[in-house]
Amino acid sequence: MDPLPSEVLEDPRYTVPHCPEAEHGIGWLRGRVPRFSEGAEHTRRRAVLERTLAGLDVRPGAGGQPPAALLAAMGLSRELVGEVAAAAAAYQPHTSDRELTAAADDAVERLVVACGDRSERTAMLICILVQAHAGLTAVAEQRRSGRTGPPIPVTRRVAPDGREVLVDLSEAPFGRGAHACPGEQLAAVLAATESPQR
Ligand code: HEM
């Protein structure tokens, strides 16, 4: 099926996949973040996330793998980049690979411990790390391959008839509408200074 145009991202009848609440692991993360929520809950979580992001003193050029500068700004060990990568690998709810999901569950739990508690702030910090990792890794892979176009070619929405559809990001590389990327400015700086993970 051909991806739908990015206007769909501003059509409230097309929603992000719903993720049920879970007590731990990647399911817990998905159930707490703006990325997989809609309506009033999305608005509230998005405001918390933006405040959290604005409160981080990110020093680009801290170097290393994406998103090492963000880990440093959060006061977390840069050695957690592997946990961030593992969580990012199974962040999207359509991930069906059981090994990736199990590794992501463990990684999220280690990140929760590192953040100090299982709070909303912790969910926002991990959300920022994982989303940034996904975006920056896509940019790095694109640079390596020489591919043109948006770093993340498509995203997903649930159509009014309940089917999951792909949405083309050629015209909106950072998304659009309520779920548009809140890290676009920071992404440009980090992508220029952080080296890709291998
Ligand atoms: C060049 C790198 C990046 C690219 C290409 C990118 C791209 C995107 C896109 C396309 C979306 C929309 C997804 C959708 O509507 O389905 C998105 C959402 C998001 N991005 Fe980024 N992003 C990048 C870097 C970052 C960074 C550095 C951060 C954090 C510091 C970040 C945080 C987020 C968050 C939290 C969302 C979800 C927003 C919501 O659902 O309300 N991104 N990003």
| Assigned domain for 122 exists | yes
- pLDDT of res. 49: 98
- The atom number, within ligand 1, closest to the CA of 53 reads 30
Q: CB of 74 closer than 6 A to ligand 1?
A: no
- pLDDT of res. 58: 92
Q: How far is the CA of 193 from the centre of ligand 1 (A)?
A: 18
| Assigned domain for 29 exists | yes
- pLDDT of res. 198: 43
- DSSP-based three-state secondary structure for 62: coil
Q: For ligand 1, pick from 30, 94, 129, 181 the residue to mutate: most ligand atoms within 8 Å of CB.
A: 181
Q: CB of 34 closer than 6 A to ligand 1?
A: yes
Q: CB of 126 closer than 6 A to ligand 1?
A: no
| Assigned domain for 167 exists | no
Domain count of the fold of the chain: 1
| Assigned domain for 9 exists | no
| Assigned domain for 141 exists | yes
- pLDDT of res. 194: 67
- pLDDT of res. 189: 86
| Assigned domain for 15 exists | no
**Closest Cα to atom 9 of ligand 1:** 174
Residues of the chain with pLDDT under 70: 62-64, 194-198
Domain that holds residue 44: 20-148+182-193
Q: Tens of pLDDT along 153-167?
A: 999 999 999 999 999
Q: For ligand 1, pick from 174, 176, 185 the residue to mutate: most ligand atoms within 8 Å of CB.
A: 174
**Closest Cα to atom 25 of ligand 1:** 132
- Dist CA 83 CA 6 (whole Å): 31
- pLDDT of res. 195: 59
- pLDDT of res. 62: 59
| Assigned domain for 71 exists | yes
| Assigned domain for 84 exists | yes
- pLDDT of res. 63: 61
